[in-house]
Amino acid sequence: MRIAEAWRVALDALRANRLRSLLTMLGVVIGVAAVVALVAIGTGTRQQIERQVEGLGSNLLIVVPGRLEAGAAPTSSPLTLDDVDAVNRIVGDPTRVAVTISSGETVRAGSRTGFASMQGVVETTPTVFVRRLDRGAYLTRTDVSTGRRVAVLGAGVSHDLFGDRDPIGRQITIGGVRFRVIGTFEALGQSLGVDRDSEVHVPVTAAQRLLGTARIDGLAIRAPDRERIAELSAAVVATLAERHPDTDFSAVTQEQILGVLGDILGVLTGVLAAIAGISLLVGGVGVSNIMLVSVRERTREIGLRKAVGARPRDIGVQFLLEAVLLTTTGGIIGLLLGAGTALLVDRLSPVPAALTWWSTALAFGVSAAVGIIFGVVPAQRAGRLDPVVALRAE
- Minimum Å gap between C-beta 48 and other proteins is 53
Q: Which is nearer to other proteins, 2 or 347 (CB)?
A: 2
Residue 318 CB, shortest distance to other proteins, in Å, is 10
Task: Please choose, out of 46-54, 113-121, 259-267, 383-391, the segment that lies near other proteins by the rule CB under 8 A.
Answer: 383-391
Regarding 11 and contact with other proteins (CB under 8 A), the answer is no
Considering the rule CB under 8 A, would residue 23 count as an interface residue with other proteins?
no
**326 contacts 371 by C-beta, under 8 angstroms:** yes
Q: How far is the CB of 387 from other proteins (least distance, A)?
A: 5
Neighbour count for residue 261 (Cβ, 10 Å): 17
Q: Is 320:376 a contact under the CB 8 Å cutoff?
A: yes
Distance between alpha carbon 387 and the CA centroid of its chain, in Å?
Answer: 57
> Site mask, other proteins, residues 285-314, x = CB under 8 A?
---------------xx-xxxxxxxxxxxx
CB of 295 to other proteins, least distance (A): 16
Rounded least distance, CB 383 to other proteins, Å:
10
Long-range CB contacts (< 8 A, 24+ apart) of 354-359? 354/40, 354/43, 354/44, 354/47, 355/36, 355/40, 355/43, 356/39, 356/40, 356/43, 359/35, 359/36, 359/39, 359/40, 359/43
Distance of closest approach, residue 270 Cβ to other proteins, in angstroms:
45
From the CB of 317, what's the least distance to other proteins, in Å?
A: 12
Does the footprint of other proteins cover residue 391 (CB under 8 A)? Answer: yes
Which of 232, 231, 274 lies closest to 35 in space, CA to CA? 274
Q: Does 18 bind other proteins (CB under 8 A)?
A: no
CA atoms within 13 A on the CB side of 57: 21
Amino acid in the structure at residue 31: G
- Is 316 among the residues that bind other proteins (CB under 8 A)? no
Beta strands in the chain (DSSP E): 60-65, 97-109, 112-121, 133-136, 150-153, 171-174, 177-185, 190-191, 194-195, 199-203, 218-222, 249-253
Q: How many residues bind other proteins (CB under 8 A)?
A: 23
Whichever of 195 and 314 has its CB closer to other proteins, that residue is 314
Residue nearer to other proteins on the CB measure, 186 or 386: 386
Q: Between residues 1 and 235, which has the closer beta carbon with respect to other proteins?
A: 1
Q: Interface with other proteins by CB under 8 A: which residues?
A: 1-2, 5, 12, 16, 300-301, 303-314, 386-388, 391
